[in-house]
């Protein structure tokens, strides 16, 4: 039985991460209440207390270890922790950003939440100023928030960013930087102890870090659950296809989890051309290894930017005789004109559904009938809770066992 004072856990939301942070906090409260009730039941049984007496004992210990103003006056009932830290971000006319934390956080384990790919208007100065921010602006918000947290005496600082910024700049082909690793080094130098992210584009990015830990979560469990809710999809005519060689490991995971065959698309690229959008890219030729004719095809990738790779792959697969085409992306960026391009592809019958997550704040995308959004905030809440309580992370970082348990009877259902 592990229990840690909830007053020591705090969540700070940057302007782009407000919506994601609020959902994470809602799940954190549910997790805390469930574990609190289990602890009270065990204490009552072990020491012969009535439940209310056990609650009073726990509240007494929490009050003794924390400032009294953190808690309500009711000492005989469960008191829900607040978790969220009051903070105000100001945006100045010249573009500078300032973060001011409005309450004590000294000695707390602070989790700073930011969605660097949120391209909808966000609030500054208490809502008096609204502005659409770039990835760089969101990253600056993180920098000033981390600095403010360290200046205010936070015990530890963890950055929760479902999309790791600049993750695609992880390898050098010519005279270019390794910006993905440099971003990590900057965060490390500012005092970030840990990063929690989702399906990072390259696992080698962690090699650039000295002491900062990186927890890389996966949305495969949530995506497979969404697949299982589609009537008649997971049948004998279902095949997993890797959209390129870089995504083989990811799609092999899905094929093994679903006990389905794996096929591969191999793409030739003309690197003298620059991919500008979903329709104008540098893919010159596609080759298929495997049988997809008249089959339901499933492809998974880590992120969807302009969507050029998936659009071309879906068109090729339909030309080769594929039946329904379903794609899953952990990080649905849908930059530029991607939504419009996918609207057109859907009207042409090139795909059946796109499964994404709420790792990126979206409004327009959620209105599309072809798009399914799965919620991964519970996964992040469980991660934060386990880290704070010093519990094992194994089942969250490697979810093969819970997927196998959930879908052990899938063949019979199909």
What is the predicted pLDDT for the residue at 72? 57
Question: How many Å is the Cα radius of gyration of the chain?
Answer: 23
Q: Are 217 and 365 in contact (CB under 8 A)?
A: no
What is the predicted pLDDT for the residue at 414? 39
How buried is 300 (Cβ within 10 angstroms: 0-12 exposed, 13-18 middle, 19+ buried)? buried
Which residues does residue 83 pair with via DSSP β-bridges, in sequence order? none
Q: Which domains does the chain have, with CATH numbers?
A: 220-375+408-413 (3.40.50.2020)
Q: Are 22 and 13 in contact (CB under 8 A)?
A: yes
What is the predicted pLDDT for the residue at 400? 82
d(CA 43, CA 99): 42
Q: Are 159 and 112 in contact (CB under 8 A)?
A: yes
What is the predicted pLDDT for the residue at 171? 79
Residues 6+ apart with CB under 8 A from 169: 176, 177, 178, 179, 180
- Nearest residue to 219 via CA among 335, 302, 322: 302
Full-model pTM: 0.90
Which whole-number Å values give the CA distances from 125 to 26, 83, 306, in the listed order? 24, 21, 33
The pLDDT profile of the chain, 414 residues, written as one tens digit per residue, is 455 567 789 999 999 999 999 999 999 999 999 988 998 999 899 999 888 888 888 888 877 776 544 555 678 888 888 899 999 999 999 999 999 999 999 999 999 999 999 999 999 988 889 999 999 999 999 999 999 999 999 999 999 999 999 998 887 878 888 898 999 999 999 999 999 999 998 888 888 889 999 999 999 999 999 999 999 898 889 999 999 888 899 999 999 999 999 999 987 766 555 555 556 555 667 889 999 999 999 999 999 999 988 998 999 999 999 999 999 999 999 999 999 999 999 999 999 999 999 999 999 999 999 999 999 999 999 999 999 988 889 888 888 888 887 666 544 543
Which residues does residue 100 pair with via DSSP β-bridges, in sequence order? 88
Q: Which two tokens stand for residue 340?
A: 């419009």
Quote the Cα angle for 299-302-306, to 5°: 90
- Residue ranges of alpha helices (H) inside 229-324 are 248-258, 308-319
Measured in degrees and rounded to the nearest 5, phi and psi for residue 257 equal: -65, -40
Give the number of C-alpha atoms closer than 13 A to the C-alpha of residue 362, restricted to the C-beta side. 22
Measured in degrees and rounded to the nearest 5, phi and psi for residue 127 equal: 100, -5
| Eight-class DSSP state of 7 | G
- Nearest residue to 329 via CA among 345, 305, 348: 305
Only one residue has tokens 């056990």, namely 54
Number of Cβ atoms within 10 Å of the Cβ of 45: 10
What is the predicted pLDDT for the residue at 411? 47
Q: Are 124 and 90 in contact (CB under 8 A)?
A: yes
Exposed e or buried b per residue across 102-136, where buried means at least 16 C-beta atoms within 10 angstroms of its C-beta: eeebeebbbbbbbbbbbbeebebeeeebeeebebe
């Amino acid at each position: 039985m592990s229990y840690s004072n909830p007053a020591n856990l705090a969540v700070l939301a940057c302007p782009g991460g407000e919506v994601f942070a609020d959902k994470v906090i809602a799940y954190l409260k549910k997790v805390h209440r469930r574990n609190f009730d289990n602890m009270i039941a065990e204490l009552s049984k072990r020491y012969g207390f009535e439940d209310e007496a056990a609650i009073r004992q726990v509240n007494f210990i929490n009050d003794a270890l924390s400032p009294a103003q953190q808690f309500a006056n009711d000492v005989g009932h469960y008191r829900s922790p607040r978790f969220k830290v009051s903070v105000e971000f100001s945006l100045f006319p010249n573009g500078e950003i300032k973060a001011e934390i409005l309450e004590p956080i000294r000695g707390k384990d602070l989790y700073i939440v930011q969605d660097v790919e949120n391209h909808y208007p966000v609030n500054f100065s208490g809502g008096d100023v609204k502005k659409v921010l770039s990835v760089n602006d969101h990253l600056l918000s993180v920098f000033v928030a981390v600095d403010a947290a360290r200046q205010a005496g936070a015990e530890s600082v963890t950055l929760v960013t479902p999309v790791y910024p600049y993750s695609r700049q992880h390898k050098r082909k010519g005279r270019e930087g390794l910006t993905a690793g440099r971003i990590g080094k900057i965060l490390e130098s500012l005092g970030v102890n840990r990063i929690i992210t989702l399906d990072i584009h390259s696992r080698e990015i962690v090699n650039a870090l000295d002491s900062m830990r990186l927890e890389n979560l996966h949305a495969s469990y949530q995506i497979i659950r969404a697949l299982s809710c589609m009537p008649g999809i997971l049948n004998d005519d279902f095949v997993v296809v890797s959209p390129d060689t870089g995504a083989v490991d990811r799609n092999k995971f899905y094929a093994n989890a679903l006990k389905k065959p794996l096929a591969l698309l191999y793409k030739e690229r003309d690197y003298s051309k620059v991919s500008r959008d979903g329709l104008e890219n540098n893919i010159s030729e596609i080759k298929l290894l495997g049988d997809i004719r008249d089959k339901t095809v499933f492809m998974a990738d880590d992120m969807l930017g302009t969507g050029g790779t998936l659009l071309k792959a879906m068109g090729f697969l339909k030309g080769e005789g594929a039946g329904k085409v379903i794609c899953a992306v952990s990080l649905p960026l849908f930059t530029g004109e991607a939504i419009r391009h996918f609207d057109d592809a859907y009207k042409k019958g090139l795909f059946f559904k796109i499964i994404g997550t709420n790792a990126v704040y979206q409004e327009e995308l959620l209105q599309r009938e072809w798009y399914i959004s799965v919620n991964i905030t519970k996964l992040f809440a469980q991660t934060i809770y386990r880290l704070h309580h010093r519990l094992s992370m194994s089942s969250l970082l490697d979810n093969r066992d819970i997927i196998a348990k959930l879908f052990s009877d899938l063949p019979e259902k199909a």
